[in-house]
Structures are given as C-alpha cells and as structure tokens.
Structure 1
Amino acid sequence: RRLKKKHFVIECDPLVHEGFESTARHVEIPYLPMLVPPTKWKGYDKGGHLFLPSYVMRTHGVKDQKEAIKSVPRKQLRKVFEALDILGGTKWRVNRRVHDVVETIWSRGGGIAGLVDKGNIPLPEQPETEDPDEIQKWKWSVKKTKKANRELHAERCDTELKLSVARKMREEDGFYYPHNLDFRGRAYPMHPHLSHLGSDLCRGVLEYAEGRPLGKSGLRWLKIHLANKYGGGIEKLSHESKLTFVEDHLPDIFDSAANPVDGNCWWINAEDPFQCLAACMDLSNALESSSPHGAVSHLPIHQDGSCNGLQHYAALGRDYMGAAAVNLVPGEKPADIYSEIAARVLDVVREDSMKDPATDPSVPLAKVLVDEVSLLPAPLCLNQEIFFFMYLFFNKTVEDLDIGSLQVDRKLVKQTVMTSVYGVTFIGARQQIMKRLQEKGHITDDKLLYDVSCYATRVTLDALGQMFQSARAIMAWLGDCAKMIASKNQPVRWTSPVGLPVVQPYKKYKNYMIRTSLQCLALRREGDAIATQRQKAAFPPNFVHSLDSSHMMMTAITCKEAGLHFAGVHDSFWVHACDVDKMNQILREQFVELYSMPILENLLEEFQTLFPTVEFPPCPAQGNFDVREVLTSTYFFN
C-alpha cells in the first residue's frame, strides 16, 4: 500500500512577523545612495559604486548577454555609458516637509494617502451553523483574509525600508543614484528602495538638491504639474484647463501646504497624493513670496509620453491614424486613447445588447455592461472640456463622470490598452478587466463576472486591433522573425539605435532533484535549448523597450549639453520647472532624429547578416505620417 506524501513547512511565529515590522528600519542596506558622484562607466564592471561590486547590466547570470556586452568595443557603448553617467550624476535630497507629513501619518497608523494600514483585517467569525456550504464559505473567507493580511505585512515592511533610507539621508545636503541597465537597455537606479523610480511615496519625499528660480514659464509648468499629479482625469485636459483648475483650487492648495495633516487635506484625494502635496508646498511658497517668478524650486517637473509604446509603433509604421490617437499629431487638446477605445467598446456593447438573445449568446453579457447608464448622455461625456467644467460644477473627479456607462469607462480598458503593445495575452487582459469590474462592485456573482470579463476583453482587443492595424502588423512581423531565429536554436539578438547589444535570455530549463535525509530539493538550471514561444512572444515588447530607452538616453545626453538637470523613468522625463520648455524641444527633436533612422530596415539587415540561411519576410509597409509633425505637437509628452 502506497503511503500518502506529506509536505512539511516551517513557518515563523506571528510574533516574529510583528518583530520584523518594528525592526525593518534597522536592517542594514548595502547599496544605499552615494554621497559622492558615482564613478563613470568604462566597462561591464567598471563604474557606479566606488567599492561595492557594480555591473553596467543586470544579466541575472545569462552568459549570452554578458558576453555580448563585453565583446563590443567601448566606443560603440559611448552613448550608453554617457547617459548612465548623466542619470547617476543628478543630485537629490530628501524633501523634509513632505517627509515630516509621511512620518506623522505613519505614526498614526497609516491607512491614508496611499500608505498601507498598520492594522490587520479582522478574521471573520465562524458561523453558528452546521450547513456545509456556509462553513465552506467561511473557510474561504478566512483564507482570503489571511492572504490579504500577509500582503499588508509585506507592504508595511517595504514602507519601513523606504522610510529608513529617508531617515538616514534626511540630513545630507545631497546624494546620488548610480544607474545600470536591464538587458533591453532600460535604466534603473541601483539602490532598490527609496528612489525616483519608486512609488508615489518615494517620489514625494525626493527632490533635486540644487534649486533653480521658477521664472514665468516655470511657474506655469509647476501649476500644470500639480494638476497632473492631482489626476482624476484632470491630467487629460488641455494646459489652459489645468491652469484654470489650479487657480480655482488655490485655497485648497494653500491649506494643504500649511496644514497637510490637520487641515482640509484636499491633497489626500489626489491620484499621487504625496507628489501633489510636494507641488502644493512648492507653489504655495512661490505665490506667497514677494516675487513668485524668482522663487527657487527644487521640484522635478514630469513630462510623460502619451501611451508611449503605441507612440513608438505609430512612428515605426508611419501610421497617421495611430499617431493622431497618441498625440504625435498636433492638436488643441490632448487626444486620449483610453477614452477613444472605451467609446468604441461601449458602441459595440450597446449594439450587442440590442440583438436577439436567441441567436447571439453575448447579448446577456452586453446587457450587464449597459444596464446601469449614467444620467449624462454619451456624446456630452465624450467631450473632455465639458468633463472639466462638470467637475467644477459637481465637485467630482472626472473619472466619476464616465462615458455613458457605469461599467464601460476609461479605467476599465486603460491597463489593457497600455500593456497591449507589450504582449499582453487574452488571459492577462481578462484578469485586468475582471479586476476593474470587481472594483466597481456591480457584479457580485463570480461566474457572471468571469463571463462578462471574457466578453469585454474580446471586444476591447478587437477595438485595439482595428485602431492600430499598423502596430499589429509590425508586432506580427517581429514575432515571425523571432520564431524563425528561435527555430535555429538561437536567441533573438539585435543592436539598439544607441549601440547597445541586446540578447533575449529565454531558454528552456532543466530540473534537478537533490535528495537529502530531510527533504527533496528541486533546482532549475538554464539549458542549451531555446524557448521558441517565449522568444517570439517577448520580442515585440522588448524591441520597443530598447527603442524607448534609446530615446531617453539621446534626450539625457542633449539635455546635459544644454545645462539641464535631467532624470528619467523610462517614458517620463524630469527637469526643473524653468527648463521644461527647453526639454520639450529637445525630446521632440531627439524623437525625430531616432525615427529618421531606417530602424526596421536596419533590424532586418542585421538579422540577415547574423542568420544568412534564414529567409526573413520583408518589412511591413509604412504609411504617410511625417514624424516631423511631432515637433509642433504640444501633447506628445505633457
């Protein structure tokens, strides 16, 4: 008779977990921010920290990538090293006023402004019944609550680590973040906890160590930045509407700056509350000074790409329709691709809801999505400027005034649209949409929620495919090329426009079992066989990431030459308020320079050189969009 297998798990006592939360601030962190400028990069392991081991790329032990970057001449990597030196040479400091607010809220138990609550969720009480169904529901409820509490514990430890770094760095005049790359060329600070790459909490407590006078344009950009950080749909309005929004809320802004914890706390309702608070304090200081234009600001002002992945695809394919949807084409107000896709989805759902249920099984699902329609007529809601004035009238966030349905709105499709160009699968998109529907709380039945999510996902992906046919064609071409290369048991490799060699690391793994007297360990080791499907699926998003990182590096180098203090987080570029106009000009010029290169043709030529026996398909046909229109597009980055 075979004995049942038993699994033994060693767990920490709850008291140990509690102790971790209180001692996290005392954990020694080796890779802290540097108090002196980082060493300039000169090779794979030469640069960054003075004494700690530093590598220009995070290869995670992948030999192919490590050998590729070591094999190219240093001259080819000049722009890459220069851009990393610029990012690492930006001097930061702790924003003490914001840090004080964070510490006050944290000492009071957290739970507001995005800070995790220090208290656990109470476990549900066992029902006084012997009904098996009720008992099972209770057990599932207990399991879900324990899982949520474990996640809260992890968030509390993470917050403590971030705050412990802020406490250590608080009294320093300034510090630096050495940067390195992932295998696609995206730059990251080497310090893992408190950096400008992190959450709203991290970004709120950091500012430039060097201040610069605002000037007239800087004061304007500071107000626009504040509106962007408040969010709620305000960030999608025209610049003039954002300025009006700030002017109408000056009493709230002054109160937030003067009494951030015990006042009206207007800033807490922002999408990025601590960054909004920092902007409130900076703007309040300027407006209350004798010379607002002469006020010195340390705040980095962000200019973010408008669905940046689709921007790169539109430029690659010279697709005018796609370019107009993501603000590569000049317009009086920003085009909002998320609202556009949501409107298309809602049109399809409304049409489906009016069909005969006997002939179309999707009719009941469509009806669920359109049953609860807002009082505002859809054409009116689609006008974003009217959105804004409704916001002023009703004192609601723009997100509350949706496009005509309580279910189908901008937020429902946003994450799926964002990740579509990065290879999101149907299952991944369904999970994203299901989560949004769960948050709305209108569908309580799990089976119905699943079915409606599948239906909404299919309609959303269809709408995306219709609107971005050129992007789909390029993605399909990249995937076909990757499949051909992987069929030769070779990883996909290419050179980015700034000279960085990129090698995809996806291989099949071998499993090894190691038996001991106590247990059996399963270890995984990278094999020699290529994971064909992963190489194919990952190539389109990885290739686009290598392009957006190239654009960021080109912009960083030119900003440095112009005397600007530049920081970048992938498709979000930061400078002082007074320098935003100059950076906007530079980043547009560098985008045009990037796409003046025959990028797809160069890629095909490189593939043909590396794999001469493979017959690759020709590059996809291009449209008639003139990429130089970006130079006059106000909302390309905004």
Structure 2
Amino acid sequence: MGLCRLCRLLCKLGWLLNRRIHNFLEKTKNHQRKQIIDEVQGVSKEKEILRKRVNSLIKRRRLTEVKKLVKNEEIKPWGRDAQAKLGSRLLELLTETAYVQPPIDQSGDSPPDIRPAFRHKFKTISRDPKQKIKKRYGIIECDPLLLSGLDNPAGLDNPAKHMLIPYIPMLVPPKKWKGYDNGGYLFLPSYVMRTHGSRKQQDALKGVHVKNMQKVFEALDTLGSTKWRVNKKVFAVVEGIWASGGNIAGLVDRNDIPIPEKPPSEDSTEIQEWKWSVRKANKINRERHSQRCDTELKLSVARKMENEEGFYYPHNLDFRGRAYPMHPHLNHLGNDLCRGVLEFAEGRPLGRSGLHWLKIHLANLYSGGVGKLSHDGRLAFVDNHLDEIFDSAENPINGNRWWLTAEDPFQCLAACINLSEALKSSSPHSVLSYLPIHQDGSCNGLQHYAALGRDSLEAAAVNLVAGEKPADVYSEIAVRVHNIMKRDSNKDPATNPNALLAKLLIDQVDRKLVKQTVMTSVYGVTFVGAREQIERRLEEKGQITDDRVLFAAACYTAKVTLAALGELFQAARSIMGWLGDCAKVIASENQPVRWKTPLGLPVLQPYHKSERYFVRTSLQVLALQREGNSVQVRKQRTAFPPNFVHSLDGSHMMTTAVACRDAGLHFAGVHDSFWTHACDVEKMNQILREKFVELYSMPILENLLESFQTSYPSLVFPPLPERGNFDLQEVLRSPYFFN
C-alpha cells in the first residue's frame, strides 16, 4: 500500500503538461493568424501565388499548413519519450520539495522530524501472487503519515477534500460534441472516444466526416443534458453510517482486522499457518484500504455537489460505442452507494402509472427472487410490506432496518422514502418524484443474439415473447445442469470419474451458481473463466473444503454449464462462431477487424502486439511499450463477437435516448438498463421496444458481411448462418422484455 509504479504515471504527467501547452497555443491562434497575414501581405509580386494559397488555408482554418508554408518549419507533436522524460523531471521536483512533519508528539527539545512526503525506490514485485517470477520496478512511495491520512480522514483533515479531481460533474450543460476533441468539458481535454492510446483507432475516428457522426454526437449530448442532484435524505444516512465505522449496507469496514501475533512455539507447522494467516490478514486490509479510499472519493464529490441545485455528466464512448460519464467516481454507472445518493434534479408528479411503477421499482431493488415475480406479484409484495417501508423511511438508522435486507439497500431506501411520501399524502398521484425508475434487459446480450438469429425458442427464453411472468434463463440453465448431473450421478464411478463429483454437486446447483457464466457466455467467456466463476460460487457455499476437490468440481460444473448453454442457445452459438470465423480470416492477413455501428461510428479492434523500448529519464531507465504493426490474431477472433454485440446494445441505448428526448422525457442509461421518471416509464417502454425492433429490422449481419467483402475483396468469408422465422413485432407486446 502507498506505492505507485512509474511508467504510466510519468507518461501521464508529461501528457497532461503537453495538453496544457497545446490548449495555450490554441488560444493564441487568432494572434498567430494576424501575424502570418502581415508577413505574407508584405511579400513581392513573385510570391503572389503563395499569398493566395496561405489566405485560402487560413479561411479553412488549416493553420498548421500555413505555418509550414510561411516559416518552412515542421511542427511535430510530443512523442511518448518526451512526455516520459518531462513527467520524470516533474516527479523528481516533487520528491525534492514535498515534505511532511509528524504532529505534536515530538519533543520540543529535539529537532523536528521533517521528512520527504514521497520517495523514489526500486522494489521487487510479483505481478501474480501465484507466480514465483518477480521483477524489479521503480516506484514512488508515499510517507506512512500520508497513507494513514488517506485511510483515516481525521488524520489529515480529510485529505479527500483537498484532492484535485478535475473531471467533476459540471454545473452547466456540457459543450455539445462537434468533433473528436471538441465537446464535453468546457476547458478540460475531452475526447469523444476512449482510445487508450491506440493511434489506429484515433485515425479511423478522425477520418470520418463530422456529418456522419451527427447521430452519435446527438446521443452523447442527450445523455449529457440530463440534470442530476444529490438525494440529501439518503446521503445523510450514508454519512451517518460512514461516521460510525461503516460495515453496513455494503459500505466497507473502516477498521482493519488485527494481524495475528507470532506463536511462541517453534513448531514449523504452526509457524507456516501463522505466516499464511498474516498474509491473508494483510490481503484483506489492503483490499479494505483500497475500498475506503474509493468510498472517500465518492463521498467527497457528493459533499461538493450536495448543496448545488443540479449538475451534469458529460459522456463519451469506449471504442465499441458504449456511452459512459466522463467523471469516474460518483455517477449513475457506479455501485449502490452512487445510485442511492443520485436523483434527477427535476421532479415530476407520479400520476397513477407512476405510483404503479414506483412500487415495482422498489420490489426490483429488494430482489431476493421478488424481481422474478409477475408485475402483480411484485405489487403484492410491496403492499404486504408497507409497515416496513414506512418504518425504513421514517427511521432508517434506529428503526427495524428492513431496507438493509435488500440487495440494493441505499436505492431501496430512496424508493421507500419516495413511496412513503406518496402514500401518506392526501393526493398520492400529485406527489413529485425525483427517482430514476429502472427498466432492465433480461440477459440483454442473449436478447440481441436472439434478435439476430430470429430463433423463437431463444427469443422466448429471454423475454422477447410475452408471458404471464418473466422467463428466467438462469433458472432454466440451472435445471438443465441439474438434470445432466443427475444422469451422471447414476453412472458407475469406476468407468465415469464424474459420477462422484455429480453426487457431491447435485444438491448445490442453483440459479446463483450458473448465473455469471450464463451472463458472460455471450461475451466470450472461456472454459477457464467459467471454471473460475463457478469455483468462487462453490467456495462461497462452503460445502467443499478440499482445494483439489473444489477445483475438480468447478471444472466439471463449468463443462456441464457450457454444454447446457450450447443446447439451449444453438442459434446464438452459430452466430458467435460465424463472427469469430470472419474475424480470424481478417486477422490472419494481419489486419484489425473493423466495422461501423448502425449509427455510423467506426469501430476498430485495438488488439496489436506491443513493442518494448527503453527511455533514459532523470529518475531511471523506463521500459515503455508502443502499439506494434502485428495484430493479435487470437484476441481479434475471440473478442469480436462480444465487441460487436456491445456496439449493437450501445446503438440501441443511444437511439432510445434521442427518441425519449424528442418525446419530452428525461433519460439516463447504463448499457442495458434504461431510466426515466416514474410517470414516464410506460412511454419509455414503448420507445425502447420500437427502437429495438427498428434496429433489428435492418439487415445487420448482411451489411456486416458486405462491408467485409468490400474492404477485403481478396478474402473468402464463410456464408451467413441460418436463421429462424421469429416475428420481431412480438417484442412490442412483451411486458418483460425490459422490466
């Protein structure tokens, strides 16, 4: 704890200064333009052609080319080498000038203990605790006094208050997007896409005409125009719990666990057990420290925004076209704490339908299986717990604390408060509601595959078809896994080694065991990934204590779960396979897979083999990496199916956002979860279904294949997979498609 490896830090420091200087030069453009004109207008007649050329370039704002013509000098951007060297010198200055002095307990007769706040050191670190290979890294280590202050806000007058968080929420609407680096924050560097340094992705994006990006820009502007505020009632409860030590409602414990003392015995077994217990305690304490710092950052932003009338989140995209708030700490994509303390800045009367959806929203947040009931079942659940809901709203800390039993406690508390206000009012339907009401997709990745494949069975499994209650694909897979294990358990262990594992596991199979694997299957989860997911769930159950048996059981369960998925979602598997095969054809020619989303956004998979090189700086020699010219064939192939589906769900969310804005609704989105006021849920539900049907009425796979054949005319691609005859219009009538 309290240390940071250097490479990325130094490059980031240099990049930030590079941006500051770039912004300064941008502000002097008008002065430079006038200077250039004065120089050119004084030239002789034989340079008249040059003058006309320069004036033409100036009118088109191509100032860099003007400077090259007039001053005959190349203007090159800083490279990563220069940024690293500059960052190194800046950090060196920090270590030479920043000091701390421990407080009061020093003797007045002794000299003050003033010491550097940061130190540059070399440390041998293992990147993976399970591996014995260790490497020597340069690090910056902060003084323990700073570290204790971060962990204990009382120690340094709450240092989170003094931390510079530049990309905080905005008090005015964000700047509308008009280009790659033109939009979002008014004065901070803002880019429409998070390319993580991929030059090829940046070039692909910059090469698109602004007119072809208008739909994307419009959607980002719509998401950024939603006005938020802090829910003061919920935030007061959060602050009270945090001040009392946390460890409630998902908040981390603010105290470390004690480190076990060394046993007096010299017995090697006891000593080894003690060492393991010390390692485990230190690991837990490191995790708690990290979580405490994260919580402090979230709360510090909430404190800054608490008394503001409202604020905004500028949005940009990842390389696949999914939208994210640019502020990283307190936003609606965050955890239950973040979502619980945020609400719309504008309230709207509940109305009859709003009261209905507020109750369903509360039931969904409580969950524990309640969210899988029909709408009527969820309404009945809320009506049967009104006393607990009223008590939670009136006395959240010292009452019965029913809200703490919810899966999302802070969001549940916010809903309890709003519902209590409405039901205790003489006119419940006129009570203002500021809460965002969520409508979530049902295993949304599989919903997109079902629409692509037009398979009726798969469509019904993920609620593209109307039913009396929501279909639960996770429970369906759990039943299939249980049936396979039941068959295996009846086999002879002498000839079938899985028989014993099946008998051991048959009573442990449930929805939770397979949920994560089912959810991530459409995003390319491997057998190893599935095994690790299931191993964690089995470990939580605690019925298998032997590590070797646990590993074998996880391997067997993962194999059975993936087999059950293959049985139920054959059409989805077929499309995944086709996408992967196309990507392999392209990547085998050392080309990255690229495509355009339905909104016209160019996507290029940034998976290239990196090249390592060394840069000598004032602190140390740095080993840097840069994007090479060879693609990672395997990564290009395995990542394409999930990335392509992510680009489709991003398109669905953004088209829904714009349509909701046009209909006068407030909208917020978290990938496959769409939010609006309670009174507007029914209208949003209609819009999001219409936009889904509109999206998949397009020949998406045909267009993709055609674009591949046009871009790579010499390559041969596999034929499109066969598809079913599912009628997309069924989605418009399905109440549990998003619910």
TM norm structure 1: 0.92
1:335 to 471, 484, 489: 471
Rounded to whole Å, the distance in 2 between the matches of 1:342 and 1:301 is: 30
Q: Where does residue 6 of structure 2 map in the other structure?
A: none
The C-alpha deviation readout for 1:172-207, integer Å capped at 9, x for no partner, is 000000100000000000111101111110000000
Q: Is the 8 A contact 2:391 2:400 kept in 1?
A: yes
Rounded to whole Å, the distance in 2 between the matches of 1:615 and 1:524 is: 34
| Structure 1 residue 410 corresponds to structure 2 residue 525 | no
| Structure 1 residue 99 corresponds to structure 2 residue 235 | yes
The C-alpha deviation readout for 1:423-442, integer Å capped at 9, x for no partner, is 11111111111111111111
Letter in 1 for 2:457: M
The C-alpha deviation readout for 1:468-516, integer Å capped at 9, x for no partner, is 0111111111011101111111110000011111000000011224578
Q: Is the 8 A contact 1:24 1:161 kept in 2?
A: yes
What is the correspondence of 1:322-401 to structure 2 with a 5 Å cutoff? 322-370=458-506
Q: Is the 8 A contact 2:182 2:190 kept in 1?
A: yes
| Structure 1 residue 83 corresponds to structure 2 residue 219 | yes
| Structure 1 residue 618 corresponds to structure 2 residue 710 | no
The C-alpha deviation readout for 1:543-590, integer Å capped at 9, x for no partner, is 000000000011111111110001001000000000000000000000
Flag structure 1 segments of 5+ consecutive residues without an equivalent. Answer: 371-404
| Structure 1 residue 51 corresponds to structure 2 residue 184 | no
Residues 451 and 13 (structure 1), Cα distance of their counterparts in 2 relative to 1, 3 Å cut: farther
Q: Where does residue 611 of structure 2 map in the other structure?
A: 510
The C-alpha deviation readout for 1:39-82, integer Å capped at 9, x for no partner, is 11111111111111111111111111111111112221111111
Q: Is the 8 A contact 2:371 2:378 kept in 1?
A: yes
Rounded to whole Å, the distance in 1 between the matches of 2:134 and 2:564 is: 50
The C-alpha deviation readout for 1:346-388, integer Å capped at 9, x for no partner, is 1111221121111100111111113xxxxxxxxxxxxxxxxxx
Q: Where does residue 455 of structure 1 map in the other structure?
A: 556
Q: Where does residue 319 of structure 1 map in the other structure?
A: 455
Percent identical among aligned pairs is 70
| Structure 1 residue 19 corresponds to structure 2 residue 155 | no
- Bigger radius of gyration among the two: 2
Rounded to whole Å, the distance in 1 between the matches of 2:644 and 2:331 is: 26
Q: Where does residue 531 of structure 1 map in the other structure?
A: 632
What is the correspondence of 1:525-604 to structure 2 with a 5 Å cutoff? 525-604=626-705
Rounded to whole Å, the distance in 2 between the matches of 1:141 and 1:508 is: 40
2:565 to 464, 480, 490: 464
Rounded to whole Å, the distance in 2 between the matches of 1:28 and 1:494 is: 38
Q: Where does residue 397 of structure 1 map in the other structure?
A: none
| Structure 1 residue 137 corresponds to structure 2 residue 238 | no
Cα distance, 1:124 vs structure 2? 2.5
Tell me the SS of whatever aligns to 1:512: strand
Rounded to whole Å, the distance in 2 between the matches of 1:136 and 1:346 is: 40
The C-alpha deviation readout for 1:393-447, integer Å capped at 9, x for no partner, is xxxxxxxxxxxx3x21111111111111001111111111111111111111111
The C-alpha deviation readout for 1:573-618, integer Å capped at 9, x for no partner, is 0000000000000000000000000000000000001100001011
| Structure 1 residue 255 corresponds to structure 2 residue 397 | no
Rounded to whole Å, the distance in 2 between the matches of 1:537 and 1:144 is: 35
Rounded to whole Å, the distance in 2 between the matches of 1:625 and 1:462 is: 24
Rounded to whole Å, the distance in 2 between the matches of 1:330 and 1:273 is: 30
Letter in 2 for 1:454: C
Q: Where does residue 155 of structure 1 map in the other structure?
A: 291
| Structure 1 residue 41 corresponds to structure 2 residue 177 | yes
Rounded to whole Å, the distance in 2 between the matches of 1:517 and 1:81 is: 42
2:256 to 102, 120, 124: 120
Cα distance, 1:128 vs structure 2? 4.0
Which range moves more in the overlay, 118-127 or 537-546?
A: 118-127
1:440 to 534, 541, 545: 541
Cα distance, 1:521 vs structure 2? 3.8
Q: Which has the higher contact order (CA 8 A, sep 6+)?
A: 1
Q: Is the 8 A contact 1:127 1:138 kept in 2?
A: yes
Q: Is the 8 A contact 1:303 1:572 kept in 2?
A: yes
Tell me the SS of whatever aligns to 1:32: coil
Matched pairs, number: 600
Which range moves more in the overlay, 91-100 or 68-77?
A: 68-77
Rounded to whole Å, the distance in 1 between the matches of 2:614 and 2:227 is: 49
| Structure 1 residue 176 corresponds to structure 2 residue 176 | no
Residues 520 and 451 (structure 1), Cα distance of their counterparts in 2 relative to 1, 3 Å cut: farther
Q: Where does residue 206 of structure 1 map in the other structure?
A: 342
Residues 446 and 9 (structure 1), Cα distance of their counterparts in 2 relative to 1, 3 Å cut: farther
Q: Is the 8 A contact 2:138 2:620 kept in 1?
A: no
| Structure 1 residue 492 corresponds to structure 2 residue 593 | yes
Rounded to whole Å, the distance in 1 between the matches of 2:431 and 2:137 is: 63
Q: Is the 8 A contact 1:26 1:164 kept in 2?
A: no
| Structure 1 residue 290 corresponds to structure 2 residue 426 | yes
Rounded to whole Å, the distance in 1 between the matches of 2:494 and 2:616 is: 59
Q: Is the 8 A contact 2:709 2:715 kept in 1?
A: yes
Q: Where does residue 224 of structure 1 map in the other structure?
A: 360
Rounded to whole Å, the distance in 1 between the matches of 2:617 and 2:551 is: 44
Cα distance, 1:517 vs structure 2? 10
Cα distance, 1:233 vs structure 2? 1.2
Q: Where does residue 394 of structure 1 map in the other structure?
A: none
Tell me the SS of whatever aligns to 1:524: strand
Tell me the SS of whatever aligns to 2:324: strand
Rounded to whole Å, the distance in 2 between the matches of 1:584 and 1:516 is: 57
Rounded to whole Å, the distance in 2 between the matches of 1:177 and 1:220 is: 29
Residues 8 and 478 (structure 1), Cα distance of their counterparts in 2 relative to 1, 3 Å cut: closer
Residues 527 and 7 (structure 1), Cα distance of their counterparts in 2 relative to 1, 3 Å cut: closer
Q: Is the 8 A contact 2:298 2:330 kept in 1?
A: yes
Rounded to whole Å, the distance in 2 between the matches of 1:532 and 1:332 is: 46
Tell me the SS of whatever aligns to 1:92: strand
Q: Where does residue 396 of structure 1 map in the other structure?
A: none
TM norm structure 2: 0.80
Q: Is the 8 A contact 1:422 1:540 kept in 2?
A: yes
Tell me the SS of whatever aligns to 1:471: helix
Letter in 1 for 2:414: A
Rounded to whole Å, the distance in 2 between the matches of 1:237 and 1:7 is: 55
Residues 156 and 480 (structure 1), Cα distance of their counterparts in 2 relative to 1, 3 Å cut: same
Letter in 2 for 1:40: K
Rounded to whole Å, the distance in 2 between the matches of 1:516 and 1:506 is: 28
Q: Where does residue 187 of structure 1 map in the other structure?
A: 323
Residues 5 and 116 (structure 1), Cα distance of their counterparts in 2 relative to 1, 3 Å cut: closer
| Structure 1 residue 72 corresponds to structure 2 residue 208 | yes
Letter in 2 for 1:596: S
The C-alpha deviation readout for 1:514-547, integer Å capped at 9, x for no partner, is 5789866432221111110110010000000000
Rounded to whole Å, the distance in 1 between the matches of 2:734 and 2:617 is: 65
Q: Where does residue 5 of structure 2 map in the other structure?
A: none
Cα distance, 1:145 vs structure 2? 1.6
Q: Is the 8 A contact 1:25 1:163 kept in 2?
A: no
Residues 68 and 518 (structure 1), Cα distance of their counterparts in 2 relative to 1, 3 Å cut: closer
Q: Is the 8 A contact 1:91 1:175 kept in 2?
A: yes
Q: Where does residue 412 of structure 2 map in the other structure?
A: 276
Letter in 2 for 1:17: L
Which range moves more in the overlay, 334-343 or 346-355?
A: 346-355
Residues 14 and 121 (structure 1), Cα distance of their counterparts in 2 relative to 1, 3 Å cut: farther
| Structure 1 residue 62 corresponds to structure 2 residue 192 | no
| Structure 1 residue 238 corresponds to structure 2 residue 368 | no
Q: Where does residue 391 of structure 1 map in the other structure?
A: none
Rounded to whole Å, the distance in 1 between the matches of 2:453 and 2:409 is: 38
Rounded to whole Å, the distance in 2 between the matches of 1:178 and 1:450 is: 45
Letter in 2 for 1:157: C
